């Protein structure tokens, strides 16, 4: 058996025609699909977030109304909280309560000054 030598012809497309019309339509279709799907996902996430926030607000307003009916609108009106204040010998917003229950956080930012920054 004799091996036959086949001639292969290879030609590059001109630079301006790297994508044929069919290739362009395929690429455009995939791109549009990806954008549409991601847009749908983002829209869905935003809508779910808004509905969650609305439900949370409704729940908080419902709790506030329920507590206002029984004269328990603030934590200092709670019987167990009042007992703690009595045991400490103070009242809500009193000096002892202020020292023990309220935090005072001060962050010294003087070491964070930027070099060459001008304010004002």
64 and 32, same domain (yes or no): yes
Residue 83: inside a domain: yes
Residue 118: inside a domain: no
Distance separating alpha carbons of residues 120 and 112, to the nearest angstrom = 17
28 and 65, same domain (yes or no): yes
Residue 99 and residue 88 in contact, taking contact as beta carbons nearer than 8 Å: no
36 and 65, same domain (yes or no): yes
Maximum pairwise Cα distance, the chain: 112
86 and 98, same domain (yes or no): yes
Residue 44: inside a domain: yes
Output the pLDDT for position 114. Answer: 57
59 and 94, same domain (yes or no): no
The domain in which residue 63 lies consists of 23-70
30 and 46, same domain (yes or no): yes
Output the pLDDT for position 29. Answer: 93
| Number of domains into which the chain is organized | 2
Q: What is the full per-residue pLDDT of the chain (120 aa) written as tens digits? A: 555 667 777 776 665 667 777 888 899 999 999 999 999 899 999 889 999 999 999 998 898 888 888 877 777 778 888 888 888 888 887 888 777 777 667 666 666 655 555 554
33 and 66, same domain (yes or no): yes
Distance separating alpha carbons of residues 47 and 29, to the nearest angstrom = 27
Residue 13: inside a domain: no
66 and 91, same domain (yes or no): no
């Amino acid at each position: 058996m004799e091996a036959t030598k086949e001639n292969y012809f290879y030609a590059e497309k001109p630079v301006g025609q790297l994508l044929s019309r069919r290739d362009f339509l395929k690429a455009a279709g995939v791109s549009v699909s990806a954008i549409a799907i991601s847009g749908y996902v983002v829209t869905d996430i935003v809508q779910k977030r808004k509905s969650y926030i609305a439900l949370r607000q409704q729940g908080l307003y419902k709790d506030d109304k329920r507590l206002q009916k029984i004269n328990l609108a603030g934590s200092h009106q709670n019987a167990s909280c009042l007992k703690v204040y009595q045991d400490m010998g103070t009242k809500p917003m009193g000096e002892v309560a202020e020292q023990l229950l309220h935090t005072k956080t001060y962050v010294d930012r003087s070491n964070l000054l930027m070099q060459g920054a001008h304010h004002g």
